Structure 1
């Protein structure tokens, strides 16, 4: 049994957006410490790890750890109906996931079926990253947009001094270089130079929910999965995306 309340329903919608941009359904683990979700996308080339601690909620009552499978696409659509100033109450109700929007003078209630999700991911992949880049969220989204004009893939190269982005397609080529501790890059930590190429569509979906005023962390190892992580308030979200390898 659990009963969880958050004062800003729209904030929870933003958190769920970070998940639904990658997967349509998943299993939430609800413990006394907080809410966790780990899942692979249907293609199997990317993974999400989401955690929000109990301190993010104004009410957090959990009798024992439980797991609930939900259609996250449907959940996101319902949360999109949140109105300014509404609170959100979530609880289990007769094997249903109950959602209640609480306004100043009104309440709306939904009950969603719990589903069985076939694949659970217990652990994040272990990668000894060679370079880590902390980049402004809005600037990184602009970089992806620049590359998307020419290609469906984007290349990253990082060393202790700079972060280089490249894209190439039939329409032309792009190269951008951003120096360490500059306007776009807050910080680069690099034990050795690292480079890899990734799918632009997936990266765009991964960072879409990141607040524009935040920073995105990119952890890179040559020709290995990239880790992309950022925060949405108290929520922590991390993604792993397999590199593109030319055949």
Structure 2
């Protein structure tokens, strides 16, 4: 038997919105420690990894490890039936072919019950190696979202450079070029915090803005975002979900002058390196 009750049901809506543009379907792996998910986009350019520890839920019960294969859009449709203040309980029986969603309003005067048919999804669980990143940058998630949105109106790929001068986002396209530089300890917004940079070596990566804009849909989950960079390995973008979870995106760096290079599986050897780690 698996049962997990999320008091802040809107959290699940935000998570599904954040990963919906990355993959159409995914396996939700349930164990005594919580719920995890790992899925890639169809081009194998980016990977998303989600962890919600058991402490996120109250109560949480998972008698045996269980994998719930679901279509992301179908889950989103069901979650739209829940109010933003509703609690959401997810239930599934071992060996069953459906997963149940129970929505309860705050004053308990409305209870909604839905079931979704499970899918058999053939997905490999990739080993993500620990990396000592050259640069780790923490900044307000709202500012990162604004930068990605603004620069995407000029070009399709962005060069992210981290040095002692700060972090610089630059783009060049048919209509022109532009750049945004954030200095260490620059206060963007008093409520969202400042820019903090930890750097061992300067690093520059070029990635597709389309994917970064997908990632920033997770901005509603956290006030801050952490960007980790290392030469020739995927760019890592992490949003913490309270004290009990996180969502991480990994994006293969672009090589060559054509944006099409980014859309090839394992571009730059980035995501391919993660896949190879799983084979060891």
Q: Which interval holds the TM-score relative to the shorter structure?
A: over 0.9
Contact 1:159 1:188 in 2 (8 A): no
2:114 to 91, 102, 110: 110
Structure 2: which 5+ residue stretches go unaligned? 189-193, 258-280
Detail structure 1 runs of 4+ shifted over 6 Å in the superposition.
Answer: none
Matched, 1:235 2:245: yes
Tell me if the contact between 1:195 and 1:223 (Cα under 8 Å) persists in the aligned partners. no
Whether the aligned pair in 2 keeps the contact of 1:210 and 1:232 (CA below 8 Å) is: no
For residues 204-236 of structure 1, give each alpha carbon's deviation from its aligned partner in whole angstroms, at most 9, with x where no partner exists: 101212227611111112343100001133330
Q: Distance in 2 between matches of 1:146 and 1:44?
A: 26
Residue pair 1:69, 1:115 contacting (<8 A) in 2 also: yes
1:149 is aligned to 153
SS of the equivalent of 1:85 reads coil
Match of 2:142 among 138, 154, 174: 138
Q: Distance in 2 between matches of 1:237 and 1:85?
A: 22
Separation in 1 of the partners of 2:12 and 2:221?
17
What is the TM-score of this pair, normalised by structure 1? 0.94
Write 1 or 2 for the structure with the bigger share of strand: 1
Residue-by-residue CA offset, 1:107-128 (whole Å, 9 max, x unaligned): 2111111111122223224544
Q: Relative to total residues, which structure has the larger helix share, 1 or 2?
A: 2
Aligned-CA RMSD value: 1.6
Number of residue-to-residue matches in the alignment: 247
Q: Kindly indicate whether residue 66 of structure 2 is the aligned counterpart of residue 71 of structure 1.
A: no
1:183-198 matches, within 5 Å, as 183-184=187-188, 185-198=194-207
What SS class does the counterpart of residue 17 from structure 1 fall into?
helix
Quickly say closer, same or farther: Cα 1:70–1:134, change in 2 above 3 A: same
Gaps of 5+ in 1: none
Partner of 2:32: 32
Larger CA deviation: 149-158 vs 124-133: 124-133
- Native 8 Å contact 1:198 1:243 kept in 2: yes
- Give the TM-score taking structure 2 as reference length: 0.83
Question: Is 1:83 matched up with 2:83?
Answer: yes
Find the counterpart in structure 2 of residue 246 from structure 1.
256
Q: Mean Cα displacement is larger for which, 166-175 or 178-187?
A: 178-187
Contact 1:132 1:218 in 2 (8 A): yes
